Amino acid sequence: MCASAPVLAQGRPPPPRHLLEAPILTIRPHGTLAAFNGEGIKLVVGWRPVGDAAKYRVTITNAASSASDLETTDPRIEKQGLPPGRYHLTVTAIDKSGSEGAISEALPINVIEIHAVPPGADGAMPPTRNAYAVGTRFSAPGMHCETGNAPLDDLLVGPENELRVTKPGLVTLRCAGIPGYLEKQIVIAPIKLASQTPALRGATTTVHVTIGTVARVGAKLDVTAVGDISIGPTARTEFGIDIPVTATDQAKAATLVIRAGDFELGQVPLKLGEASMTMPPPPPEPEAPTSWKALDLGAQLGGFAPPTTGGGASTIGWPMEPDDVVTAGALIGGRLGFFPTRRVGAEAEGSVIAGRYVGGGDSQILASRIQLAVRVLEISRVGLRLFGGTGAWLPLHDHGTSHSAANGEVHAGAAVTVATAANLWLRFQLADLVTTARDGGYAHCLEIQLGIVTRLGRRDSF
């Protein structure tokens, strides 16, 4: 009796792998999304779960075809801070083995930037404490904007505009046009003007008007005198505006009207003292014409780092041997600046650098420079300056083949200033100083400074 053994199948291919289905999007943004200057939006997208999916890959591609991937195990994703632009989003399911399924339909996403220009400002700014001051102008490129309940068809046929919101409260901004349609709620903060000044009569008195609002108001304010008073040059302060006011002996009423461009912020009535029976005093002597001048005085500590190796080493001191090349060191010095305008001026610096030589030994270098400085940005207490100029280094003694001979340089950099008290600023400065290298090329030296600055003369913002 014979028994037969089972025959095992050999070479049979494994069953084909099942391709996961494409996710079906169920949560998506409706219409055009909106972001204010300096902000991004929160994007929320969801889809139906796909069977056998271990995770999902979300791909966001911008208008320049640059893509970024996000992975999640949930059928939902949130992305914070998506900047203005045009995008499309797709979702792919991935099983436990890492195999990718079908790609979902492409979801178009359009994020429009809303420009908001506060009263008295030159350009768009982000909100302050999530609010904008009354009088702010709003616009969106290629769109017509309203705050009422006008039909959508009326918005679509309206021309592109800049809408000024003149009433405080919670407002719904509606814009429509070729880019799409959007709605966004915004908070419009009121502006209150107040002044506590003794009764005016005769002598010139500086009246401080406080501008009270939780939102931002620009620096460009105009003041008009109403009544028998005259005013002098005004000065913008951190919390308001200072106005020299002179009331005649015959004055019966006095009011100050504060405007930001063509928008009136409000009016401030002033109290008048009792009229004198004597002749009014002569007008005050005009001030010497120095109000346009501003002189900065400061001191700084920092570090200086020149290249020290190979042919790219600096030629400070004109060394003939690699061991006589100067290395990094600490610096201390002073600064003097002259600013005939609010934004452009000239600065001079002098510093002593205490470093070393590559082969050993201490080095002392006297550094001097002049430069043109331009204030390009100011936000609250923080300002940004760009500068560029020329200077020289002079070693104070010989060392080996290094001599006490001057080297020229050109430089450029940026400085951030932070107001810490009345007429006192901290200054953080970074500069790239270019001089000759030992191989005949250029050597880039890095300099970092921390300084303190005060101002004489005109007291506008630093």
pLDDT in tens, 5-41: 444 445 556 655 668 999 999 999 877 888 887 788 8
Average pLDDT, the chain: 87
Amino acid 12: pLDDT: 59
Which token pair is 51? Answer: 């069977």
Average pLDDT, integer, range 366-386: 91
pLDDT digits (tens, 9 = 90+) for 63-101: 999 999 999 999 999 999 899 999 999 999 999 999 999
Whether 417 has a pLDDT exceeding 50, the answer reads yes
- More confident of the two residues 297 and 274: 297
Q: Between β-strands 254-260 and 294-305, what pairing exists: parallel, antiparallel or unpaired?
A: unpaired
Alpha-carbon distance 70 to 94, whole Å?
13
Asked if 125 contacts 118 with a C-beta cutoff of 8 angstroms, the reply is: yes
Alpha-carbon distance 338 to 128, whole Å?
33
CATH architecture of 192-269: Sandwich (2.60)
Portions of the chain given CATH number 2.60.40.10 = 21-188
Give the H or E element holding residue 334.
Answer: strand 329-338
Cα–Cα distances in Å, from 197 out to 192, 193, 269? 16, 13, 10
Q: How much is the pTM?
A: 0.49
Residue of 237, 410, 427 lying closest to 337 (CA atoms): 427
- Residue 379: beta bridge partners? 382
Alpha-carbon distance 165 to 181, whole Å?
19
Amino acid 8: pLDDT: 44
Residue 61 buriedness (CB in 10 A; 0-12 / 13-18 / 19+):
middle
Whether 291 has a pLDDT exceeding 70, the answer reads no
Alpha-carbon distance 241 to 452, whole Å?
26
Amino acid 35: pLDDT: 84
Which token pair is 42? Answer: 């929160």
pLDDT digits (tens, 9 = 90+) for 115-145: 999 998 888 888 888 899 999 999 998 889 9
Portions of the chain given CATH number 2.40.160.20 = 294-457
- Residue 27: beta bridge partners? 46
Sign of CA dihedral 182, 183, 185, 186: positive
pLDDT digits (tens, 9 = 90+) for 148-202: 887 888 888 889 999 999 999 999 988 888 888 888 888 999 999 888 877 788 7
Whether 106 has a pLDDT exceeding 70, the answer reads yes
Asked if 377 contacts 408 with a C-beta cutoff of 8 angstroms, the reply is: no
Place of tokens 């207490």: 381
Backbone angles phi, psi at 311, to 5 degrees: -70, -15
Residue of 268, 205, 199, 210 lying closest to 236 (CA atoms): 210
Sign of CA dihedral 224, 227, 230, 234: negative
* DSSP reduced 3-state for 152: helix
CATH number attached to the domain at 294-457: 2.40.160.20
* Residue 261 binned pLDDT confidence (cut-offs 50, 70, 90): confident
Give the H or E element holding residue 153.
Answer: helix 152-157
* Residue 276 binned pLDDT confidence (cut-offs 50, 70, 90): low
Alpha-carbon distance 344 to 386, whole Å?
10
Amino acid 93: pLDDT: 95
Average pLDDT, integer, range 310-335: 92
pLDDT digits (tens, 9 = 90+) for 207-242: 889 888 888 888 888 898 888 888 888 888 888 889
b/e code 239-270 from CB counts within 10 Å (16+ = b): ebbebbbbbbbebeebebebbbbebebbebeb
Q: Identify residue 342 by its one-letter amino acid code.
A: R
Is the CATH number of domain 21-188 2.60.40.10? yes
- Residue 384: beta bridge partners? 377, 416
Asked if 112 contacts 123 with a C-beta cutoff of 8 angstroms, the reply is: no
Amino acid 282: pLDDT: 66
Whether 332 has a pLDDT exceeding 80, the answer reads yes
Give the H or E element holding residue 182.
Answer: strand 180-189
Which token pair is 277? Answer: 């029976």
Whether 325 has a pLDDT exceeding 70, the answer reads yes
Average pLDDT, integer, range 235-258: 85
Asked if 163 contacts 137 with a C-beta cutoff of 8 angstroms, the reply is: yes
